[in-house]
């Protein structure tokens, strides 16, 4: 592993354009349950006998906002109850050292921003949990934590409409501006692409990795488990992101 870390550090040191793709495994080290392990929530049916993909969907938010919010509230409480870890901070430090280092994240916890990743090089492809906004009048509401202490769903103080977070629920489209920014950057090309803590099951996660390989770039996976892309990367660093990334960035200087 040490020689692998050194070879990855060397590739990053020599590169200008770098993309770091992050998934739930990165935030798991903050104590957040991974997507498929949210208190067992994703491992079967909800208390109502529904697959979580139905309970946490756009149509359910319209049809039965209280039911959808029961699970949004669990996500919200988990995210508010934890903080960025050494992995998030190492990524922010790498972005400081490398002005052309971008982050594409599937996570909605906002930890990259909290750790210091610059917004102009951060693509939150699944949105974020705050601020809430009213589906009826569009008013913003920054009181996510307060609403989680009250009866659900949260309602707009201005018009009484149902509030929602700016996240992508199941059966909803990805945000066009985020997708546009991603593909604009992928077209420019990346010399190094790291996939960190993601099962890489979405095309927009896999594609930048494959595109970099096609164009002679260097691809890396950081994950304790094997995933869909484990056999398609140049180097696989098996371990927790909060251990591997600080060690990796420790080998990279600002020159």
Contacts of 124 (CB under 8 A, 6+ apart): 105, 107, 108, 112, 178
Instruction: List, for residues 189-198, the tens digit of each pLDDT value.
Output: 999 999 999 9
- How do 18-22 and 192-196 pair as beta strands? parallel
What the block records as the tokens of 51 is: 């697959």
Task: Decide: helix, strand or coil at residue 69.
Answer: helix
Distance between CA 6 and CA 183 in Å, rounded? 30
Q: Which CATH number fits domain 41-81+131-164: 3.30.565.10, 2.40.110.10, 3.30.1600.10, 3.50.50.60?
A: 3.30.1600.10
What the block records as the tokens of 45 is: 């049916």
What the block records as the tokens of 123 is: 């693509």
Residues classed as catalytic: 126
Model pTM? 0.92
Q: What is the mean pLDDT of residues 244-254?
A: 90
Contact 121, 17 (CB under 8 A): no
Q: How is domain 2-32+85-128+175-250 classified at the architecture level of CATH?
A: 3-Layer(aba) Sandwich (3.40)
Of 194, 238, 247, nearest to 87 (Cα)?
Answer: 247
Distance between CA 147 and CA 116 in Å, rounded? 27
Contact 199, 206 (CB under 8 A): no
Residues of the chain with CATH 3.40.50.1220: 2-32+85-128+175-250
pLDDT bin (cut points 50, 70, 90) of residue 183 is very high
Q: How many CA atoms does the CB half-sphere of 141 hold within 13 Å?
A: 26
Is pLDDT of 255 > 50?
Answer: no
Is pLDDT of 38 > 60?
Answer: no
Instruction: List, for residues 98-155, the tens digit of each pLDDT value.
Output: 999 999 999 999 999 999 999 999 999 999 998 999 999 999 999 999 999 999 999 9
Instruction: List, for residues 56-81, the tens digit of each pLDDT value.
Output: 999 999 999 999 999 999 889 988 98
């Amino acid at each position: 592993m040490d020689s692998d870390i050194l070879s990855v550090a060397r590739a990053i040191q020599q590169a200008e354009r770098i993309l770091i793709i992050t998934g739930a495994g990165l935030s798991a080290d903050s104590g957040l349950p991974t997507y498929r392990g949210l208190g067992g929530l994703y491992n079967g049916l909800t208390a109502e006998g529904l697959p979580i993909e139905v309970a946490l969907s756009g149509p359910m938010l319209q049809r039965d906002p209280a039911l959808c919010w029961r699970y949004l509230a669990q996500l919200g409480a988990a995210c508010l109850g934890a903080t960025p870890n050494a992995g998030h901070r190492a990524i922010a430090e790498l972005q400081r050292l490398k002005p052309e280092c971008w982050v594409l994240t599937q996570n909605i916890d906002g930890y990259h921003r909290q750790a210091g990743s610059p917004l102009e090089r951060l693509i939150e492809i699944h949105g974020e949990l705050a601020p809430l906004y009213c589906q009826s009048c569009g008013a913003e509401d920054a009181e996510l934590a307060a609403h989680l202490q009250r009866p659900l769903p949260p309602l707009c103080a201005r018009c009484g409409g149902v509030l929602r977070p700016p996240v992508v629920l199941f059966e909803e489209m990805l945000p066009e501006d985020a997708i546009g920014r991603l593909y604009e950057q992928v077209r420019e090309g990346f010399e190094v692409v790291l996939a960190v803590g993601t099962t890489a099951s979405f095309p927009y996660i896999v594609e930048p990795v494959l595109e970099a390989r096609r164009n002679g770039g260097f691809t890396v996976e950081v994950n304790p488990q094997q995933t869909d892309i484990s056999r398609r990367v140049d180097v696989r660093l098996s371990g927790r992101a909060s251990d591997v990334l600080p060690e990796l960035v420790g080998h990279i200087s600002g020159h």
